[in-house]
């Protein structure tokens, strides 16, 4: 008995025709839609991706301004 294991897939959607395109992880986004031929900028990722949970701890600006800028205490 042989059980075929499918690799994890990324899902993209063509915004021109609505086609869902599945691509294995490690492969780039398609250059064009296989159904309608729309260019790559019309194809967008629809799944969240694996292992990503937002910005995470310590990312982003948080306090505003560069770290070398002095904070004034209301003088």
Signed CA dihedral, 41, 47, 49, 54: sign only: positive
Q: Where do the structural domains in the chain lie, given as residue ranges?
A: 9-45
Q: Is the pTM of this model over 0.95?
A: no
Write the pLDDT tens digit of every residue in 22-53.
999 999 999 999 999 999 999 999 987 665 55
CB-count exposure of residue 30 (10 Å: 0-12, 13-18, 19+):
middle
């Amino acid at each position: 008995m042989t059980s075929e294991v499918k690799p994890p897939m990324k899902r993209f959607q063509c915004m021109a025709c609505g086609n869902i395109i599945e691509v294995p992880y490690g492969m780039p986004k398609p250059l064009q839609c296989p159904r309608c031929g729309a260019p790559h900028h019309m194809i967008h990722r629809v799944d969240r991706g694996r292992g990503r949970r937002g910005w995470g701890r310590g990312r982003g600006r948080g306090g505003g301004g560069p770290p070398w800028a002095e904070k004034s205490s209301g003088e």
